[in-house]
Each structure stands twice: as C-alpha cells, then as structure tokens.
Amino acid sequence: MPEPTHILSFTDILCGHCYFANARFEQLKADFGNQVELSYHFHATYGDVHRKIKQSGKSESEYGAMVRDVADRFDHVEVHPDIFRKKIPTSSIPSHLYLRAVKVLENEGIIDPADQKFERMMWKLRLAFFRDLVDVSQRGVLDEIARSLDIPIADVARAIDDGRAYADLNHDAKLTRSFNVQMTPALVLNEGRQVLNGNVGYRVIEANIRELLTNHPAELSWY
C-alpha cells in the first residue's frame, strides 16, 4: 500500500473560519480515508485577541456581528449572539498549549491515539467558545473540558510544566514560518509546494488532493 499523502492543517481555536471549515476536514477524512494523513498545527491568529479586534477598526460588538454574519452562511454551526462581545478570551495560545500537551500524551501512549482525544478536545473547545460563550483561555475551563473526555489532567500539567508541550508549540511556529502561513485555516500539501490559505471551498481542496494522489509529485499534470 502506498504511503498516505501528508497534509498539514494550520488552525486557531478562536478563528471562526476554522470552526466553520471543520466539516470540510471531516469530509476529507471520510472521502480519502487512509490515503491522506492530516496533522494539525497551531498558528496564533488570535494570540492577542483584544489588540486584534482593535486593529480591525471595529468595536467588539461590530466584530462579533461580523463573525455572526459569516456564520449565518453555514447551517452546520451555531454561534452565540454575544460572541466577541462578552466573555472574550485574552488569547488562543493557552488552548493551543493545552492541546499540544494532550497530543504529547497521545504520542507517548499515555492516552490511546485510537480514541482521538486530541481532535475531540479541539472540537469541544471550539463549541465551548463559539456556541456556548465559554472563555477557553482559562486553565480551569481547559481542565474541565479535558476531564469530560477522561484526559488525565495531571499528566497534561506535567507535559506543560516540563516543557514538552512548549517545545511542540514552538515547532508549530517554526513550520508556520517555514511554509509562510499567514492566516488560518491553511492547508500545506506536497511538502510545501501547495498552500491553500483561508476559507477555501471543499471542491478546491478535493481537487488538489486528487491531483496529488493521481500523479507523482514530480510529474503533476499541467492541464
């Protein structure tokens, strides 16, 4: 069996377009199965939420209204009416660091990778913020969500405290710079030769992957 095509997905827990695009990635896995290998990496688009909103030139209410307007185009997601207006997280980085710690536990076999707790927690954090208006920059909130998935929070704390989670988050930052990822969501294919930035439709993603699966990367069709 040939090696799966490796796809790097760059994401931010507080990015609305990443929340909306999750269904596309689930469809991608359903359509291609073990032909593709999707790995998640974090890019802090919302690393400093309050300054990001301020730099947009919008008030918090206006920024939230913009996110809700985009969400109205998708019938598969829910967005709280007070998004980015109340209980605004300070940063997405605490969530990213916590998730990196969960992934460390998967990689080391402390939790079973087959349970997909890393991806399940990622989705729960998005729902907590966008649907339920929970401040996911708070460590207590992150612990509570981890407990709901039977993730051992003492082991998570150790992976953070001893630097393992920081090291992996730093690796994400290096990949971001290496592939010149400037926004989320972003998909990197073909060892960086193809980068799909932003709110890219599923058919575009599918076409790029089918081209890679059909043709050897060195012999891609020019049609």
For residue 93, is it left (φ>0), alpha (ψ between -120 and 50) or beta?
alpha
Q: Give strand ranges (E) for 74-128.
A: none
Q: Which amino acid is at 144?
A: E
Tokens at residue 166, please? 């920081």
- pLDDT tops 50 at residue 221: no
pLDDT, position 222: 44
Confidence class of residue 219 from pLDDT cuts 50, 70 and 90?
very low
Torsion of CA 144, 145, 149, 150, to 10 degrees: -20
> Rounded to the nearest 5 degrees, what angle is found at the Cα of 111, between the Cα atoms of 108 and 112?
100
Quote the longest CA-to-CA distance of the chain.
54
Please determine, for residue 180, whether its predicted confidence score (pLDDT) is greater than 80: yes
Give the pLDDT score at 1.
60
* Span 56-102, pLDDT tens digits: 999 999 999 999 999 999 888 999 999 999 999 999 999 999 999 99
Name residue, tokens 């980085």.
93
What are the tens digits of pLDDT across the range 2-42? Answer: 788 899 999 999 999 999 999 888 888 889 988 989 999 99
Q: Where are the domains of the chain?
A: 5-219
Average pLDDT, the chain: 92
Closest CA to 7 of 16, 31, 74: 31
Nearest Cα to Cα of residue 149 among 126, 130, 132, 124: 124
How is residue 76 annotated by DSSP?
A: T
pLDDT digits (tens, 9 = 90+) for 119-176: 999 999 999 999 999 999 999 999 999 999 999 999 999 999 999 999 999 999 999 9
pLDDT tens digits, 43-56: 999 999 999 999 99
CATH for 5-219 (3.40.30.10, 3.30.420.40, 3.40.50.1000, 3.40.50.880): 3.40.30.10
